[in-house]
Amino acid sequence: MENCEEKKTLGKEIMIGRTRFSSNVLMAPLAGYTCFPFRLMVKRLGAGSAYTEMVSADALKYNDRATSRLLFTDEREELKCVQLLGAIPAVFERAAKSERLAKFDVIDINMGCPVPNVVKSGEGCALMDDIGRASAIIEAVKRSGKTVSVKCRLGMNRKKIVIEEFARMCEGSGADMITIHGRTRDMMYDGEPLYEYIKLAKQAVSIPVFANGGIDSGEKALLTMEKTGADGIMLARYGFENPLIFPQLSGTKCSDTKYSLISEQLDIAGECYDELFVLTYIKKLASYFMKKLPGTKQKKQELFKCGSITQLKPLLWDIFGS
């Protein structure tokens, strides 16, 4: 385990608007990954919050199965956080005030997704190129009375880094928190984050600013805090690869192993979803857990051939328990 003795401010409780986050080590929303069982797990391990997968604000008007699955939660999830994607302020306001989001405490607005079809629709990172519209969306969501956070990038490219102005706009429009992925849209998920711009944004506003991007170890988490002066960090894919980073950074007592975690996930997912979804989710999680483990190529092949939970259980023990 990496030495996080000098973790400085990591692991502390923080207020976001009127909402208390038990830790300033957060889990990012990840499409296809941050389902209800996973959110429960990382919060038990010390994450201060964990958001749903990205949900289309417009899709909330339909009572479809896919959106209902994204929004699934129950009383075990004490702090409920949802992320919305869209481009129309009125649609955001309707969604934020809807009965379907009544149970959620925090709404995060996705203004950072760099995927081409999202950007072409004027959503995600495209909103950083339309500050007026972005402001109207934040104001619309804020009228719901809920705590509002914004997840964004530095700008569309290195020649158009707008994060200082954008951060000030977020605060002025009513956002309670900003999470900044320290890359521009054209960098996608590659390259060293540009920490200095997160620091400039942090210095430009008084609301909490969280740093995101490129955090794949305890040391990198501390380095990110040091270089940005952020109020906390938000882990993304590394949180899925190694959830045990959460107790390490937050100081939460933990005796779990990857086997105990994935077994628990299998049980909780089985309570909430159909077998096909459970199989798909557990295979993805197990595959992430196996990263950097030696000699797992054959095991991965066996994993993805499993056609039932009955077949899956002994294989999970063979991979992680023995």
- Expressed in angstroms, the distance from the first to the final Cα of the chain is 20
Instruction: State how beta strands 14-16 and 19-21 pair.
Output: antiparallel
State whether the Cα torsion 127-130-131-137 is positive or negative: negative
Name the catalytic one among 4, 81, 113, 152. Answer: 113
Radius of gyration of the chain, Cα coordinates, nearest whole angstrom:
19
| Three-state DSSP state, 291 | coil
Give yes or no: 4 in active site: no
The single-letter code of the amino acid at 291 is K
Assess contact for 119 and 154: CB atoms under 8 A: no
Distance CA 250, CA 4 (A): 10
171-to-25, 84, 166 alpha-carbon distances in Å = 21, 18, 9
| Three-state DSSP state, 232 | strand
Task: List active site positions.
Answer: 113
